[in-house]
């Protein structure tokens, strides 16, 4: 098997039943595996809620025991969700601007110069974590040097390797965010912390707790997902030199290529919802207050929708994937993630002749019967400069 | 060359000329309110939903299966709904009027 091959972990269950079960510390989750069911359920926020009374419950595995704050707007439903989403959305659309792209381009270009000068690079820590962190300074509009702190946390800051629900680990992030909120409230700047503290909702300023809710979402939601998307893209281009050549020859096809890569990798496996009242999904009875999950990773390999779903086809034109979710809660950071990946492909194709993959350890998630490769614990590569 | 008119939810009408690309790209390049084109045109985000003026609907053709599935779950769908990214600009569409479906 090639290093960049990511098998479909859900094929059999998706065809047979359309659902899977995951025992999440006693709070069982019914995983929805078919694209149509996932999209329909994601759309129906009235029946499948994100605003549970216990913050952390829609995350799988559940974070109810460690969540100290409600993530905003992600753990709200309309009408509240509508207001908060509208307030933060313009900020998260900034990545579409040419100035933003230029900043990201400079960051990527400098990093590629670093790695092409090295004999070998461990991609997860030495490339993806650094790029994710440095690019995040642009999204938050903080000084470039701030990334050094986030890089120093390592890849396992929010979850320890042996225990995904290690509350102490999450404290690093919470304390950092608290300190930044204090800093911004003493002396406002033009960064996201300051902007949020100055944002009005319901005729009053956003509270520190609400700002924290937005920032926890921004940091946690865009860390592992982005790191995996970046590493997996490097692995793919290493295994497929013809793809790097294709991008070099067809820079106008980068947008399509990125959508196909995120479909194939689906960096976030699934996300939960709480059933508001007894409902039926995929001929399955969903009881009130039980949980279902929208399995993006499975939906993106649905053979009833995608031709050759287990192959990366960079020219795939009709590609109705749900890698960034679907409906009102679709990924707030998607504009940033897309810009980052598009610019990465562009700069790589201009500066890198070939990527030679050396060693790899797969990162495998276990959801009871389903074992899914989602990325790499480590990937060593040599970047050969043009 | 085709002239295409977009009418936004707030009633603003603007006309643009194009000879290549698709309707979503034309709208995004000219910052038409209500057309986002987030996915870049692969029929994944449904943020380029338009209602085609009835006279032109036949010329644009009906939505394909994947597009129809996307539209089925979008707000403000009617019998003339299409996703802009799936309509290529052509001479034949000269004079077409499109109503942007969402804000």
Strands (E), chain A: 19-22, 29-32, 48-49, 121-122, 200-201, 204-205, 271-275, 279-281, 284-286, 291-294, 352-367, 370-385
Best A78, A86, A319 member to test B by mutation, with max B CBs in 10 Å, is A319
- Chain A residue with minimal CA distance to B65? A305
Shortest alpha-carbon distance between residue B8 and chain A (Å): 19
User: A160 versus B72: which is more confidently predicted?
Assistant: B72
**Are A319 and B44 in contact (CB < 8 Å)?**
yes
- Chain B residue with minimal CA distance to A96? B38
**Are B69 and A258 in contact (CB < 8 Å)?**
no
Option in A259, A320, A322 nearest B66 (CB) = A320
**Are A320 and B40 in contact (CB < 8 Å)?**
no
**Are A258 and B43 in contact (CB < 8 Å)?**
no
DSSP A125: I
Option in B40, B66, B69 nearest A255 (CB) = B40
**Are B66 and A335 in contact (CB < 8 Å)?**
no
Option in B38, B40, B70 nearest A320 (CB) = B70
Shortest alpha-carbon distance between residue B15 and chain A (Å): 23
**Are B40 and A319 in contact (CB < 8 Å)?**
no
Which of the four pLDDT bands, split at 50, 70 and 90, describes residue A165? Answer: low
**Are A256 and B69 in contact (CB < 8 Å)?**
no
- The β-bridge relationship of strands A279-281 and A291-294 is unpaired
Q: What is the pLDDT of residues A278-317, one digit of tens each?
A: 988 877 888 999 999 999 999 999 999 999 999 999 999 8
- Check pLDDT > 70 for residue A364: yes
Q: d(Cα A28, Cα A22) in Å, to the nearest integer?
A: 6
State the pLDDT at residue A158. 64
Q: What is the pLDDT of residues A207-228, one digit of tens each?
A: 999 999 999 999 999 999 999 9
Q: B22 - beta bridge partners? A: B88
- How buried is A29 (Cβ within 10 angstroms: 0-12 exposed, 13-18 middle, 19+ buried)? buried
Residue B20 touches chain A, beta carbons under 8 Å:
no
CB contacts of B87 in chain A (<8 Å) are none
Quote the longest CA-to-CA distance of chain B: 33
CB contacts of A330 in chain B (<8 Å) are 45
Q: Which two tokens stand for residue B58?
A: 């036949």
pTM of the predicted protein model: 0.96
Which of the four pLDDT bands, split at 50, 70 and 90, describes residue A230? Answer: very high
Q: d(Cα A245, Cα A240) in Å, to the nearest integer?
A: 9
Q: Which two tokens stand for residue A273?
A: 């919802």
CB contacts of A40 in chain B (<8 Å) are 73
Strands (E), chain B: 2-7, 13-18, 49-52, 81-83, 96-100
Mean pLDDT of A139-162: 86
- Asked if A260 and A316 touch (Cβ cutoff 8 Å), the reply is yes
- How buried is B11 (Cβ within 10 angstroms: 0-12 exposed, 13-18 middle, 19+ buried)? exposed
CB contacts of A39 in chain B (<8 Å) are 69, 73
Option in B38, B42, B70 nearest A317 (CB) = B42
Residue B66 touches chain A, beta carbons under 8 Å:
yes
> Distances from the Cα of B1 to the Cαs of B50, B59, B91, in angstroms?
21, 16, 6
State the pLDDT at residue B4. 97
- Check pLDDT > 80 for residue A157: no
Best B39, B71, B82 member to test A by mutation, with max A CBs in 10 Å, is B39
Residue B40 touches chain A, beta carbons under 8 Å:
yes
State the pLDDT at residue B27. 97
- How buried is B37 (Cβ within 10 angstroms: 0-12 exposed, 13-18 middle, 19+ buried)? buried
Q: What is the pLDDT of residues B12-29, one digit of tens each?
A: 999 999 999 999 999 999
CB contacts of B44 in chain A (<8 Å) are 259, 319-322
Q: d(Cα B92, Cα B1) in Å, to the nearest integer?
A: 9
CB contacts of A305 in chain B (<8 Å) are 66, 69
Q: What is the pLDDT of residues A115-128, one digit of tens each?
A: 999 999 999 999 99
Q: d(Cα A86, Cα A250) in Å, to the nearest integer?
A: 36
Q: Which two tokens stand for residue A10?
A: 């859900």
With a CB cutoff of 8 Å and minimum separation 6, the contacts of A299 are: A32, A33, A34, A35, A38, A39, A321, A322
**Are A36 and B64 in contact (CB < 8 Å)?**
no
State the pLDDT at residue A67. 87
**Are B73 and A39 in contact (CB < 8 Å)?**
yes
- Asked if A55 and A65 touch (Cβ cutoff 8 Å), the reply is no
**Average pLDDT over all residues of chain A:** 95
């Amino acid at each position: 098997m090639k290093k960049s091959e990511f098998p479909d972990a859900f094929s059999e269950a998706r065809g047979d039943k359309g659902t899977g079960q995951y025992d999440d510390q006693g709070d069982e989750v019914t995983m929805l595996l078919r694209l149509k069911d996932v999209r329909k359920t994601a759309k129906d926020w009235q029946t499948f809620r994100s605003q549970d009374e216990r913050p952390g419950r829609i995350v799988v595995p559940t974070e109810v025991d460690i969540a100290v704050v409600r993530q905003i707007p992600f753990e709200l439903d309309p009408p509240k969700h509508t207001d908060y989403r509208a307030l933060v959305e313009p900020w998260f659309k900034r990545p579409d601007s040419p100035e933003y792209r230029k900043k990201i381009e400079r960051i990527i270009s400098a990093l590629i110069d670093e790695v092409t000068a090295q004999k070998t690079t461990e991609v997860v820590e030495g490339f993806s974590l650094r790029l994710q962190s440095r690019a995040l300074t642009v999204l938050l509009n903080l000084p470039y040097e701030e990334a050094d702190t986030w890089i120093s946390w390592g890849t396992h800051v929010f979850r320890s390797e042996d225990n995904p629900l290690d509350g102490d680990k999450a404290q690093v992030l919470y304390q950092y965010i608290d300190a930044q909120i204090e800093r911004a409230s003493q002396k406002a700047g033009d960064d996201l912390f300051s902007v949020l503290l100055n944002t009005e909702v319901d005729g009053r300023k956003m509270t520190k707790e609400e700002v924290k809710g937005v920032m926890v979402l921004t940091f946690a939601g865009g860390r592992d997902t982005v790191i995996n998307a970046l590493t997996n893209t490097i692995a793919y281009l290493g295994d497929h030199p013809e793809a790097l050549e294709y991008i070099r020859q067809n820079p106008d096809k980068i947008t399509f290529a990125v959508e196909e890569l995120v479909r194939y990798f689906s960096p976030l496996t699934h996300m939960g919802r709480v059933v508001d009242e007894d409902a039926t999904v995929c001929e399955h009875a969903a009881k009130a207050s039980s949980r279902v999950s929208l399995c993006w990773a499975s939906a993106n390999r649905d053979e009833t929708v995608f031709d050759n779903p287990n192959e990366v086809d960079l020219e795939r034109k009709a590609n109705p994937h749900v890698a960034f979710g679907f409906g009102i809660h679709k990924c707030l950071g998607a504009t940033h993630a897309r810009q980052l990946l598009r610019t990465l492909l562009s700069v790589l194709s201009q500066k890198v002749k070939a990527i030679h993959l050396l060693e790899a350890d797969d990162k495998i998630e276990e959801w009871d019967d389903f074992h899914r490769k989602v990325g790499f614990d480590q990937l060593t590569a040599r970047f050969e400069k043009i | 060359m085709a002239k295409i008119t977009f009418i936004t939810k707030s009633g603003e009408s603007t006309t643009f000329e194009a000879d290549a690309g698709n309707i979503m790209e034309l709208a995004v390049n000219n910052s038409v309110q209500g057309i986002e084109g987030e996915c870049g045109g692969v029929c994944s985000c449904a943020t380029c939903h338009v209602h085609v003026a009835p006279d032109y609907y036949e010329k644009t053709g009906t939505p394909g299966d994947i597009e129809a599935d996307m539209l089925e779950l979008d707000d403000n769908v009617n019998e003339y709904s299409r996703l802009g990214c799936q309509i290529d600009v052509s001479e034949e569409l000269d004079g077409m009027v499109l109503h942007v479906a969402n804000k």
